[in-house]
Amino acid sequence: MTTVQKIKEIEDEMNRTQKNKATSYHLGQLKAKLAKLRRELISPTGGGGGGGGLGFDVARTGIATVGFVGFPSVGKSTLMSKLTGTHSEASEIDFTTLTTVPGTLKVHGAPIQVLDLPGIIEGAKDGRGRGRQVIAVARTCHLIFIVLDVLKPLGDKKLIETELEGFGIRLNKKPPNITVRKKDKGGIAITNTVPLTNIDQDEIKAVLSEYKISNADVAIRQAGVTADDLVDVIEGNRVYIPAIYVLNKIDAISIEELDLLYKIPMSVPISSREWMNVDELIEKMWETLNLVRVYTKPRGLAPDYSAPVVLRRGKCSVDDFCNSIHKEIAKQMKYAVVWGASAKHTRGQKVGLDHILEDEDVVHIAKK
Ligand SMILES: Nc1nc2c(ncn2[C@@H]2O[C@H](COP(=O)(O)OP(=O)(O)OP(=O)(O)O)[C@@H](O)[C@H]2O)c(=O)[nH]1
Ligand SMILES: [K+]
Ligand SMILES: [Mg+2]
């Protein structure tokens, strides 16, 4: 039996099994088994490689990368060409785009890289078409645009999510607040600071046993976590990426139909061909990327608002700011003065290299 067939068999069994107290151990086992088979499929040694591949490795530019994922002919290339000015062939024929086409656009002074990708099909994660290469690229993006055709948005949305999830991508989700600390002895000790509503002790034990973990401290600090979340924590190779659902071709539907679509969370309806509502999409993209712009203030001069230094959240200390200008600057710095949201007072705060900056802060570096 191939890995794909084994996966199918387990999925079928899970669908047949009612979730209740008596079956939770068994279901926990199945979930862990499934995750292990999926890992075989997505790791480069198991079943044909999930990595880059010809034409898929593109140089990364800009401060953040946005990848376009969707079924064929939903309008990914049309959108990419119009957003960036870089031509990517578009036509009514499916699979027009066969490789990664990169472009850039500037949003609020920040250069953002956009990757137009080939269309994927159902079963892509299991090796159909170029889907695995496409999804492997998506795994490395800071934001994914899931581009949907408004004429069939909901069915396609679910299918694409399943493909991405099967490849270890978690959309619009934070890593689950669960820790599993292995020990040499003492068995399994489970502590929870919140009530366990969607997972029980049996399920936890089944998952651990499937991973041959017989001694461990498990701490659950988040309400509503499931056996799948526990599996994710143990597998450890998951990526948590924000996604925006781009509902394209709204020029083809009525206002009433459009009203219904607005209810999909994290979605923006647009028409890439008619350039309708694309500005809202760009704003949503900016907001979701959650970047930090920092303006430099030379001594005795006004800040330079035309060219911000753009940093990513989590990598936005004064040290990061210095390093993104020149690697020598941090060494030469005596102290920095910061004005803006991260500063304690409006007249400016004297700070060191580990001070964390906020969007639109102004920084002056005083040299030794
Ligand atoms: N009505 C309408 N048609 C659109 C819109 N955007 C794109 N199209 C049409 O949809 C078809 C597919 O567009 P592409 O940009 O090639 O789609 P794609 O998703 O890149 O397709 P693949 O590369 O084959 O996966 C073309 O005929 C476009 O003109 C839109 O906003 N409205
Ligand atoms: K096409
Ligand atoms: Mg295309």
Given strand 178-182, what is the order of strands in its sheet? Answer: 178-182, 216-220, 188-192
Determine the distance separating the centroid of ligand 1 and the alpha carbon of 72, expressed in angstroms.
8
- Residues 252, 79: Cα–Cα separation, whole Å: 16
Distance CA 365, CA 323 (A): 12
Residue 143 C-alpha to ligand 3 middle, in angstroms?
18
pLDDT tens column, 18-68: 888 889 999 999 999 988 888 776 665 433 334 444 457 788 888 999 999
**Could you count the other beta carbons within 10 Å of the beta carbon of residue 345?**
7
Pure H helices in the chain: 3-16, 24-42, 76-84, 131-138, 153-165, 201-210, 227-235, 255-261, 278-289, 318-325, 329-332
Q: Is 279 helix (H, G, I), strand (E, B) or coil?
A: helix
Q: Which domains does the chain have, with CATH numbers?
A: 3-47+176-235 (no CATH), 64-173+239-289 (3.40.50.300), 292-367 (3.10.20.30)
List CB-based neighbours of ion ligand 2 within 5 Å.
Answer: 73, 96
* Residue of 18, 14, 16 whose CA lies nearest to 29: 14
Which atom of ligand 1 is nearest the CA belonging to 274? 31
C-alpha to C-alpha distances, 219 to 170, 196, 236, 257, nearest whole angstrom: 21, 11, 16, 46
This prediction has a pTM of 0.87
Residue nearest to atom 32 of ligand 1 (CA): 249
Each residue's pLDDT expressed in tens, for the chain with a length of 368 residues: 888 889 889 999 999 998 888 899 999 999 999 888 887 766 654 333 344 444 577 888 889 999 999 999 999 999 999 999 999 999 999 888 988 999 999 999 899 999 999 998 887 666 666 788 889 899 999 999 999 999 988 889 999 999 999 889 999 999 999 999 999 999 999 999 999 999 999 999 999 999 999 999 999 999 999 999 999 999 998 999 999 999 999 999 998 888 888 788 999 999 999 999 999 999 999 999 999 999 999 988 999 888 899 999 999 999 999 999 998 999 999 999 999 999 988 889 999 999 999 999 999 999 99
The torsion angles phi and psi of 135, rounded to 5 degrees, stand at: -70, -35
Å from CA of 50 to ligand 1 middle: 27
Tokens of 77: 């290339």
Cα of 276 from ligand 2 centre, angstroms = 20
CA-proximal residue: ligand 1, atom 10 (nearest) = 75
**What is the phi/psi pair of residue 206, to 5°?**
-65, -45
Instruction: Measure 186 CA to ligand 2 centroid, in angstroms.
Output: 58
With a Cβ cut-off of 6 Å, ligand 1 is lined by 70, 72-78, 90-92, 94-97, 118-119, 248-249, 251-252, 271-274
- Tokens 């578009």 correspond to 90
Sort 306 into a burial class: Cβ within 10 Å, 0-12 / 13-18 / 19+: exposed
Q: What is the ipTM of this complex?
A: 0.99
**What pLDDT sits at residue 54?**
46
How far does the centroid of ligand 2 lie from the alpha carbon of residue 200, in Å? 47
Q: Identify the residue whose C-alpha is closest to ligand 1 atom 24.
A: 95
Distance of CA 27 to the CA centre of its chain: 28
Ligand number nearest CA of 147 is 1
Phi, psi of 221 (to 5 degrees): -120, 20
Contact 274/82 with Cβ under 8 angstroms?
Answer: no
Query: 8: exposed, middle or buried (C-beta count within 10 Å: 0-12, 13-18, 19+)?
Result: middle
Strands laid side by side in the 333-339 sheet: 309-312, 291-296, 361-367, 333-339, 349-351
Task: Count how many residues are written for the chain.
Answer: 368
| Short-list 66, 43, 97, 361, CA closest to 242 | 66
- Measured from the Cα of 97, ligand 1's closest atom is 23
Ligand (nearest to CA of 79): 1
How many whole angstroms from its chain centre is CA 358? 22
Residue bearing the CA closest to ligand 1, atom 9: 75
